[in-house]
Amino acid sequence: MNPLAIDVLVIGAGPAGAAAARAAAGKGLAVICVDRRAEVGVPVQCAEFVPMPLLRTVHETGSRVQDIEGMLTVLPSGLQHHSVFPGMMIDRARFDQGLAELAQAAGAQVEMRCQFLAWDGAVARLRRGTGEAFTVRPRLLIGADGPHSLVAEAVGLPHQEVVYTRQYTVPLLRPYADTDIFLSDTFPGGYGWLFPRGPVANLGLGADRRFEDNLKLPLEQLHRQMVARGIIGEAVLGRTGGAIPVGGIRRMVHGNVVLAGDAAGLTHPITGAGIPAAVISGEGAGLAAADYLAGGGDALESYAEDMQDQFGPALARAVQRRKSLEAVWRQPAAQEDRVMRSGWIAFDEYYAA
């Protein structure tokens, strides 16, 4: 069977992929967006906080759960630091589904339970959940398939450095408007968090498995501490986890292949925040695809330069801070407040030269 010829094939229907499909289809291109999952946005592997600049997208997707006013950072000594840090807690599944619906409304075809298998530079090989294999010949391929991107692997990029997370959904016993951050050598290479979502909260942590392979024990300890504070209940209503890329930006353009979101390494290596960059880069990739296919020869490189301009300096600083922290994990210095302050965005020390 001859390959299906289309303008743009997007691998991944998360925020980056759906935003790319929407933007490209909105410019009149024939777009197919595929995802290996059975349902868009499920399972949720996210703490579900987004900053205020994403308000328009959150509104478009109907995914707002509650507003956040500040951030409470708890240092190893127990010292607490409160900072103003406005944002929103979202229903991440609804957010992703809303973006996919917007892509479909723009004319993109979204197909779930469809696995990317291979790319030979011109033709992509895919397999549906039924077992049916088929091929697609896109004029442009967009890889938005997350931290373990098969598209990135297909163009020869190495695996990304990642931090793994584990999260519980727990009852929230009283209204809460802050995000709580816990810095500790108990979860080296990451941090703990309590993010309120109306009647429940996301309680989780991330860690570098080179230093801490068992995430269950420190999360259970954090859970007991929060129960003792009277903030949350003992019940665990749900469990999830995932991988977060922490190595910084990767090369995003590979001939007629473009990467976006986590696949491009645009997730913040310290905070793990990736949704804003996914939406921005996805939309940028989709618009660049339209310009490129209309004859704009430098459109893809301009996209990569724009992403570097927007995210490069902040991500480079975060990568450097990670390297500094890696040098002291599981050593006495890692429990010093001054060290942790230099590695977290709420403190002036983080931004010092």
Tens-digit pLDDT profile for residues 101-125:
999 999 999 999 999 999 999 999 9
Confidence bin at 187 (pLDDT 50/70/90) = very high
Q: Which residues of 259-293 are buried (b: 16+ CB within 10 A; e: fewer)?
A: bbbbbbbbbbbbbbbbbbbbbbbbbbbbbbbbbbb
**Residue 262: predicted pLDDT:** 98
pLDDT at 213 > cutoff 90: no
- Coil, strand or helix at 38: coil
Q: Does residue 353 form part of some domain?
A: no
Q: Does residue 289 form part of some domain?
A: yes
Confidence bin at 145 (pLDDT 50/70/90) = very high
Tens-digit pLDDT profile for residues 275-307:
999 999 999 999 999 999 999 889 999 999 999
Confidence bin at 335 (pLDDT 50/70/90) = confident
Q: Does residue 269 form part of some domain?
A: yes
**Residue 15: predicted pLDDT:** 98
Confidence bin at 191 (pLDDT 50/70/90) = very high
Confidence bin at 333 (pLDDT 50/70/90) = confident
What one-character DSSP code corresponds to residue 157?
Answer: P
**Residue 77: predicted pLDDT:** 94
Q: Which residues of 332-345 are buried (b: 16+ CB within 10 A; e: fewer)?
A: eebbbeebbbbbbb
Q: What does pLDDT average to over the chain?
A: 96
Confidence bin at 353 (pLDDT 50/70/90) = confident
Query: What integer is the mean pLDDT of 28-50?
Result: 96
Number of domains the chain contains: 1
Determine which of 18-27, 64-73, 260-269, 323-332 has the lowest per-residue pLDDT on average: 323-332
Tens-digit pLDDT profile for residues 56-110:
999 999 999 999 999 999 999 999 999 999 999 999 999 999 999 999 999 999 9
Q: Does residue 265 form part of some domain?
A: yes
**Residue 275: predicted pLDDT:** 97
98 lies in which domain range? 4-348
For residue 302, the domain's CATH number is 3.50.50.60
CA separation (Å) from 257 to 87, 156, 170, 198? 33, 12, 41, 41
